[in-house]
Structures are given as structure tokens and as C-alpha cells.
Amino acid sequence: MKLVYTHENRLFVGNAHNLLEQAGIPAIWKNEFTSSAIGEVAPISAWPELWVLEDADYERANKIISNAFASSNLPEWTCTQCKEINEPAFEHCWNCQQEKTGVCRMKFLLMSMVLICCTGFANAQTLDVMSYNIRCGSCEAIDNPNNWKKRKYLVAHLIKNHNPDIIGLQEAEINQVEDLAEMLDDYSWIGVGREDGKEKGETTAILFRHGRFTLQGQQTLWLSQTPQQVSRGWDAAFRRILSIAKLTDVVSKKTLFVFNTHFDNEGELARQESAKFLLAEIAKLDAQDNFVVTGDFNFKADSKGYEIITQTLADAEKISTTPAAGGNKTFNDFGANKDTDNKIDFVFVKKNTKVLSHKVDTTVYNNLYPSDHFPVFTKLDLSAPAQQ
């Protein structure tokens, strides 16, 4: 990973980031939200930075940015609204955010073309869902290369590559969820810490795209004999929880329930009882309600817990209408685990749900793992049941 550009004005860095995105070059921000730190640290230390994730892309990225900002053969432009002078590379006025003359018209034409091309898909109510154990933020020391502060940009970039509508996180501490919500500003979220029902400990946070969904209700239950209380159940080694979000699609007005959980890693009885508890909560829904289940279940497909769940629900991978991609491994232990058959993270759906695709994303950035798990990504079509 290499630093390719920095500037005191985040608009310059944002324009450079957009240019690299258009060229298909993966890049991430650093110091994107540190303007408030100026005065506490040296000003240049708080400048936003743009880093390319792959060293091999550095030369091409540097050339793209240099050519764009050289501007020797391009004139500055004057904002038609506030009359401020702007750099040629700016698409928006730095002062009032008015679009550059001609840009708005071009975007309108492009949008018209997209709408025309996509008319045939207007009735397809697709839902992109991700399940991702992002590894607890306090689990590695600050000097460890896998510490959250060093890898949070990789997690955000990987999520951004998929732009899911729904994300079920596991092991996410409150500060981690807040970091991601800040970097991925298209999302709102729900969740509580499992240790106190507030902010202490890991969450099973649910992120949802707030441009598409509104939150109607939320609940977190403990996987135990006393689910309404902070508690540990059966033979579990840790407190475990199930978070539930009730969402409404702002376009279709349909309700979607999202269940996100993290089963215990040691207690076999706890995993089986947690599976039964999950199904009992789903059974409370109306028959016509749509729902999706995400989670780190700490069991594989040959386990009793998996058998219990799939008697009622379907593993999205198994009913995908296109071949599942990415293999059968989700726990990587930051590269230390070499087992090729240890998928313990799943997305479960109604048995008649039409699943368009399923993928385990095994992206690694220059031998840096975003998490000790690979995320699971699936695309659903909720407009009609699958053909049985």
C-alpha cells in the first residue's frame, strides 16, 4: 500500500479518489475526518491522504492524478452562482458546491440512458446482503499489524466494493461500527454491546442503506434461557446475542426483517439451542414477511446446528441460481488457517427465496487481511419466489 496523494483541501483528495475509482484502481482515504485535529497536531499531519492498495498500481495512479491536476492546458473555471475561481479538475465549486457548467447536463443525459437501459429490470426487487465477522477491535495490540486502526480502511474498502443494502457484522465493538458508519456514510445501524446491553463488548450490529430503508423497530436478545437479560446460555463460553431489525423499503413499502447473530465457538449444546431459538423468533413473523439471516455460526454444514436451521431455512449458497464463488472457507485467522473447508459464516433465507448469486470474498491487500474472516455476499430477488 502506497501514499499517492495528499492535500490540505479534502476536495482535491476527493477528486483524486474519484479519478482512481473511474480508472478501476483500488484506493482508500486516510485522515479523511481529522480536520478537527488541526491545532492539536502539525497541520500537515491532519491532511487527508489517498493510498493505493496495490503497489503495482502506484505509477499509473500517480500519472492519472498528475495529469489531471497539472492543468497547464486547461483553463480555470468560474462558478456561475458565487463567481469563485475553481481548479480545472473540480466538478463542483469549492465554495458553494454548484456543479461545473456542463457537468449537470452530462449527468442528466447519462442518467436518462441508464433509466432506459434498466427499464427491463424495474420489477426486480433485488437485495444485496453481506455477513462479515470483522474481528474485535480490542483483540490485537496497537503495534500488531492486524490492529483495527491499521485494517479498518481495508474493511471499509471491501464493503464499498460490494455496496450491500444490508450488512450483518459480528464481533464488532461500538467504536468499530462508528468508524465504518463514518467512512461509509450511506448506512445507518442498530446494535448493542453483549456485555451490558449498551456499549460494552461485541455487537451483532446491523447496517442498512438509509436511502433505501427506514427503521421501524429493533431488538437484541441473549442466546440463553433468559433472552431478555444480559446472560450466558447453556454450555457457552461467552455471552452471545441475536440482533433483529425491522425495516421498511421506502420504494416498495414492504417490510424486511434482518436477523444477525454470532453463535458460541465452544458450546455444542449452546449452538444447537441457539439454532432452535433463532427459528422460534422467525416463527413469530407473518407468513408473507420477507427476512434474511446473517451470522457467524461457528459450525460447518455437516453439523447438527446447521441441520436444525436448514430443516426450516435455506442456505443461500445452496440455492443460488448461479454457481457459488470464492470457495468454502470463511475463517482465515489472518492467513494462519490453511483449512480450505471451514465455512462457518452463512446467509439463510426462506426456502422459496430466489438467490441470484453467492460469494465468499477472499480479497487480500498486499498480504494484509482485512479480518480473520472472509465476508459472505449474496444477491437476492425478493420480487417473486424461486421455482421449486
Residue ranges of domains in the chain, CATH in brackets: 2-116 (no CATH), 125-381 (3.60.10.10)
Coil, helix or strand at residue 364: coil
Helix (H) or strand (E) holding 14: helix 10-22
Q: With the CA atoms of 383, 287, 131 and 118 taken in that order, what torsion angle do they form, in degrees rounded to the nearest 10?
A: 10
Q: Parallel, antiparallel, or unpaired for β 354-360 and 345-349?
A: unpaired
Helix (H) or strand (E) holding 270: helix 268-282
Is pTM beyond 0.75? Reply is no
Q: What is the pLDDT of residues 11-44, one digit of tens each?
A: 677 768 877 877 889 988 776 554 444 444 444 4
Q: What is the pLDDT of residues 73-100, one digit of tens each?
A: 456 678 888 777 765 556 566 566 677 7
- Between 91 and 379, residue with greater pLDDT: 379
Q: Parallel, antiparallel, or unpaired for β 354-360 and 376-381?
A: antiparallel
Contact 214, 190 (CB under 8 A): no
Q: What is the pLDDT of residues 191-225, one digit of tens each?
A: 999 999 999 999 999 999 999 999 999 999 999 99
User: Residue 238 burial (CB < 10 Å; 0-12/13-18/19+)?
Assistant: middle
Percent of the chain exceeding pLDDT 70 equals 81
Predicted local confidence at residue 91, as pLDDT: 59
Average pLDDT, the chain: 86
Q: What is the pLDDT of residues 153-188, one digit of tens each?
A: 999 999 999 999 999 999 999 999 999 999 998 999
